[in-house]
Amino acid sequence: MAKKPDLLPGTLDMLILKTLTRAPLHGYGIALSIKRLSDDVLTVEEGSLYPALQRLLLQGWVKAEWKMTETNRRARFYTLTAAGRKQLGVELSQFEQMIAAIGRVLQDAQEA
């Protein structure tokens, strides 16, 4: 089994929040969505996903509701809250700053 790259530390919350901007999803849906959107590069470990969801719930960035799926099963759907949207903005800008900074360093290293 080829080793997949680990998620960058601290990015899981941001990815979950981003995934939820399109539509409410259940846990499995979130994991699947991240996997597909990243072309199978990023895998969310279930061991991290559910604790992370509890954390986001606690912070009030997402809401959870039990709903029926298309296949008529009960599942917990997570919805982004206004606070969550704001938090996503914060995390995105921090992330972009970070990426830009890393990029500059790498570029500098190449030129040297």
Partner 1 sequence: MEPLNLFLKKLRLLVTRKRFGSELDEEMAFHRDQAEREFIDGGMTAEAAKHAAMRQFGNSTRVKEKSHEAVGFSFESVWQDLRYAARQLASNPGFTAVITLTLALSIGANSAIFSVIEGVLLKPLPYPHSEQIVRLFLTSAEYPKFPLNPFDFLDFRARNKSFASMAAFTRDDMQLSGSGEPVQLSGFGITSGYFRVLGLKPQLGREFDFNAEIPGNGQQVILSNRLWRTRFEGAADIVGRKITLNMKPYTVIGVMPEGTEHPGNDYHSLPYGESVDVWWPFEFEGNSSQRGSHYIEGVARLKDGVQPAQANAEMNAMMAQLGREHEGDTGWNVLVIPLYREVVGANQRMLWVLLGAVGMVLLIACANAANLLLARAAARQREVAVRLALGAPRRRLVRQMLTESLLISLLGGGLGAALAEGGVRALVALLPAGFPRAHDIHVNALVFAFTFLVSIATGVLFGLAPALQASRIDPKRGLYEGGRSSTGSARQGRLRNALVISEVSLACVLLIGAGLMLRSFLNQLHLNAGFKKDHVLTASLSLPQAVYKKDTDIARFYDRLMANLSTLPGVESAGAGSDLPWTGYDENAGGFTIEGKKAPPHQEFHARYHMATPDYFRALGTPLVRGRFFTEADKDGAPYVVIVNQAMAVRYWPNEVVIGKRFTFADAPKEKDWFTIVGVVADVKDKPSSPGAEPAFWWSHLQQPSRDMLVVIRASSDPRLLVDSLRDQVRRLDPSLAVADIRLMDQVADESIATPRFSFFLVGLFAGLAIVLAAIGTYGVISYSVSQRIPEFGLRLALGAPPGDVLRLVLAQAAQLAITGAVAGVIVALGLARVLRSLMYNVSPADPLTFTAVGLGVVAIALIACYLPARRATRTSPMIALRTE
Q: Does 74 bind partner 1 (CB under 8 A)?
A: yes
CB 16 within 8 A of CB 2: no
For the CB of residue 91, give the shortest distance to partner 1 in the complex, in Å: 15
Backbone angles phi, psi at 3, to 5 degrees: -80, 130
The residue whose two tokens read 């089994």 is 1
Minimum CB distance to partner 1 smaller for 18 or for 76: 76
CB 33 within 8 A of CB 44: no
Task: Choose the stretch contacting partner 1; rule: CB under 8 A; options: 10-18, 43-51, 88-96, 103-111.
Answer: 43-51
Amino acid at 76: R
What residue ranges bind partner 1 (CB under 8 A)?
A: 26-28, 31, 45-48, 50-55, 57-60, 66, 73-76, 83
